Amino acid sequence: MKVLVVGGGGREHALCWKLSQSPRVQRLYCAPGNGGISEVAELVPIGAEDLEGILKFVKEEAIDLTVVGPEAPLVRGLTDLLEGEGFRVFGPNKAASEIEGSKAFAKEFMRRHGIPTAPFVIFEDPEEAKSWIERSDKPLVVKASGLAAGKGTIVCDSAEEAIQAVDYIMVQRAFGEAGSKIVVEERLEGQELSYIAFCDGEDILPMSTSQDHKRLLDGDKGPNTGGMGAYSPVPFVSAELEKRIIREIMLPAVRGLKQEGRPYKGVLYAGLMIDRDGNPWVLEFNCRFGDPETQPLLVRMQGDILEVMLACIEGRLAELQIGWDPSPAVCVVMASRGYPGPYEKGKEIRGLETLEGMPDVWVFHAGTVKRDNRYLTSGGRVLGVTAKGRDLREAIRKAYEAVSRIHWEGAHYRKDIGHKGLNEAWPS
Ligand code: AMP
Ligand code: GLY
């Protein structure tokens, strides 16, 4: 089969790496890809949001399966466009992707289907939002309803901050049209967990558990980022909690979407908060794999991911099972100086060759380009250094040993990725 992966981040590198192991994949392309992906796939210079450009390439090359990594092309209807011309796509269509594309839709959907989520109000008028906030006595979170590249959520410590957040999103339009509607919701406390499942419109096949580290600095300090590292599995998730997540969240979501005429095929990612009493709450749904959660998940996933993707498209998920290597995996993200604000680019990355032959260590590239056999930084998140170990402690040690061999000027990474998982008890 000829397979095209759309996207160019660490998630897409991990997907290309995994797909390249499928005996059924004869040619693998990635649009636009990155420096590291060029080692496992043929790069195609088409942007992930150039829907017409992707359709043209899929037609010209007679691509058998297109796998869409990021949310933006899904929400804009890439799946509908390609399927409309008779091509197979792994990724939900526009109507189903609204679960991520509109937070207002997602919250009202959860309310309709009794899926646990923080109490909320939706506003289209900034003055109404502000006067509601002035009357509220709860800690709040203000969210742009539309897509904002993961930056549209502001967790507030006071009513003044929440009012500023309304101005920033709705009046200054920091995220453009995405801020024409907002969700204001109660702030929840607890541990975040990523729960990601394959879906075929009817059934789900969950991946193993994973946990992201969203803040820039050690100890969960500093601004939110796209994710500074992840590990899998998460030891404090009991079998009982997982059953509840499936029963109270994942199945009602997939069945609810079907019932509302938006059958969901692809990967559904629930960003959860587990409260002090162990109850799961949905912070958000995403219509795609997590980045960086995919990196540690895929190095643990056994079997052929292509078969799972085809089963999703063909509605055969109930026949399948996925095996998970019990060895934990950790991914440490190395980022450019300045990220998540404006960051430096074009720095030469040194030391990657010293990792060759290190067992159970993988470097997934995100913002890199390859020039004359050298890798240069080109994005905020640059590398996802991933390792697997007999236990989490060993996986962490191996990942950081690999990180210590990689250098560029201004490289930044957290030193505590995975530490929350070292304790089987609930971390505080
Ligand atoms: P979202 O854009 O909804 O994924 O939110 C991004 C991040 O903001 C989440 O990963 C959480 O860290 C935080 N967050 C979102 N909603 C809430 C909430 N209701 N309470 C506390 N933190 C939240
Ligand atoms: N790691 C967070 C996300 O993919 O949205």
Q: How far is the CA of 313 from the centre of ligand 2 (A)?
A: 23
- Say which amino acid occupies 223: P
Average pLDDT over residues 242-264: 98
What would you report as the CA-atom Rg of the chain, rounded to the nearest whole angstrom?
21
- Ligand 1 pocket: which of 115, 155, 276, 282 to mutate (most atoms within 8 A of CB): 155
- Cα angle: 159, vertex 180, 342; to 5 degrees: 75
Ligand 1 within 6 A of 282 CB?
no
- pLDDT category at 175 given cuts 50, 70, 90 is very high
- Among protein residues, the one with the nearest Cα to ligand 2's atom 4 is 290
pLDDT, residue 425, reads 57
Ligand 2 within 6 A of 284 CB?
no
pLDDT over 80 at 96, yes or no: yes
pLDDT, residue 257, reads 98
| pLDDT tens readout for residues 150-170 | 789 999 999 999 999 999 999
Q: Which atom of ligand 2 is nearest to the CA of 289?
A: 4
| pLDDT tens readout for residues 54-91 | 999 999 999 999 999 999 999 999 999 999 999 999 99
CB atoms within 10 A of CB 274: 20
Mean pLDDT of the chain: 96
Ligand 1 within 6 A of 187 CB?
yes
The pair of structure tokens assigned to 208 is 């193993």
Q: Which atom of ligand 2 is nearest to the CA of 284?
A: 5
Is the backbone peptide bond immediately before 292 cis, with ω within 30 degrees of 0? yes
- Ligand 1 pocket: which of 153, 214, 220 to mutate (most atoms within 8 A of CB): 153
Burial 219-236 (b: 16+ CB within 10 A, else e): eeeeebbbbbbbbbbbbb
Cα(212)–Cα(94) distance, integer angstroms: 26
State the pTM of this model: 0.96
CB atoms within 10 A of CB 319: 11
